Amino acid sequence: MEGEGTASGVIMQSDNLDITSMMTWEEGIPRPQWELIESWVESRDDFAEGWNIVCREWLTQIAKAVDPKFALAESDEFLILAPNSESAAGLNWFAEKCWVRMRNVLGSVAQPSSKGKHVVVAFQEADDYFRYISPSFPEGEHGSTAGLQIREGYSHIVLHGQHQWMMENVLAHESTHAALQHLEMPQWIEEGLAQMFEHDMTGRGLLELDAEIAQRHKRYWTKHGMDEFWRGEGFSRAGKVQELTYQLAEILMRLLVEDARPRWFGWVREPQQRFFLFLQEANEVDCGEEACRECLGFELRDLAARFLGEGDWSPSL
């Protein structure tokens, strides 16, 4: 890769670091040995820039392995590898926009997930994407996926899409996961916020609620109970279960976000502060029940009942 880059532009070179001896190769993809690399980074004075140097070379090696036409774009917060320079630059601009929006909405609840810049690897071909993420998925049946925030090693986002708008949808979603990685919140909260940010940032795929959708949810959760929702199992199920689980997570989070809006032209921020505390205290062990009760003043069953109506919506703890 050749050329020079500027902030928010496309760069086509790395920093003369050869980390190939610290990589293994699986499915034709270079896999960094992060323990070895971390020792090199820790020997430097500029810790964050050391990770950025490593990441530039890592992404360069991925491009060589998958398609030399791939381009690398870099800005203040992001390093993004995409199928071409136009796509890389566009995703870079959009990623920065998402990060600013998340910090505005979630404040200090949103935190960087990486030791250096956020890394995004965007594939156009689904085969390349699934080849890349295969070590992160055990064998078995899984729901569909167009993107993933990989938390092992150096936290980063990987996605695929035939069109730029598809990649933007996934990037907004997975960027939310990256910003919340430091918390131990239940999956229904994290996925609900990710769905909300994806739809709000792109204006696409907005869920239009009507009586038919509400009844569909009521029938399903009444018949099967809500444990697979509260515990997060439904997010990885195939078919209808996954769809309903994602929908319900977004619906419940939108209810909470609406409750948390500052009152009286932004002067009264107590509801927002209680909501932020709920996000920080919610724990996957009890599905967020105690945090909901202590921070928001009601139980999870009460939240579910606001959409589903009366029923036995409590998690089995």
Q: Looking at 131, 162, 182, which one is the last position of a domain?
A: 182
Residues 222 and 85 in one domain: no
pTM assigned to the model:
0.86
- Beta strand ranges found along 192-243 (DSSP E): none
Residues 40 and 123 in one domain: yes
Give pLDDT tens digits for 143-171. 567 899 999 889 999 999 999 999 999 99
Q: Residue 72 belongs to what H/E stretch? A: strand 71-74
Residues 57 and 177 in one domain: yes
Q: Looking at 131, 163, 182, which one is the last position of a domain?
A: 182
Q: How many domains does the chain have?
A: 2
Residues 40 and 154 in one domain: yes
Task: Judge whether 278 lies within some domain.
Answer: yes
| End-to-end CA, the chain | 54
Residues 121 and 41 in one domain: yes
Task: Judge whether 197 lies within some domain.
Answer: no
Task: Judge whether 22 lies within some domain.
Answer: yes
Helix (H, G, I), strand (E, B) or coil at 181: coil
Task: Judge whether 28 lies within some domain.
Answer: yes
What tens-digit pLDDT sequence spans the chain (317 residues)?
333 333 344 433 444 567 888 889 888 899 999 988 988 888 877 888 889 999 999 999 999 999 989 999 999 999 999 999 999 999 999 999 999 999 888 988 999 878 899 999 999 999 999 999 988 765 544 456 789 999 988 999 999 999 999 999 999 999 999 999 999 999 999 999 999 999 999 988 777 888 899 999 999 999 999 999 999 999 988 788 999 999 999 999 999 999 998 776 566 689 999 999 999 999 999 999 999 999 999 999 999 999 999 989 999 87
Beginning with the edge strand found earlier in the chain, give each strand of the sheet holding 147-150 in spatial order: 9-11, 71-74, 78-82, 118-123, 156-160, 147-150
Residues 217 and 150 in one domain: no
Residues 27 and 157 in one domain: yes
Task: Judge whether 288 lies within some domain.
Answer: yes
Task: Judge whether 190 lies within some domain.
Answer: no
Residues 162 and 231 in one domain: no
Residues 160 and 219 in one domain: no
- CA-to-CA distance for 294 and 67, rounded, in angstroms? 52
Task: Judge whether 316 lies within some domain.
Answer: no
- Domain of 113: which CATH number? 3.40.30.160
- CA-to-CA distance for 234 and 229, rounded, in angstroms? 6
Distances (CA, A) of 205 to 93, 101, 208, 236, 249: 21, 19, 9, 20, 15
List the domain range (segments joined by +) for residue 225.
Answer: 211-308
- What residue type is 27 in one-letter code? E
Residues 114 and 17 in one domain: yes
Residues 178 and 271 in one domain: no
**DSSP structural state of residue 262:** P
Residues 172 and 218 in one domain: no
Task: Judge whether 102 lies within some domain.
Answer: yes
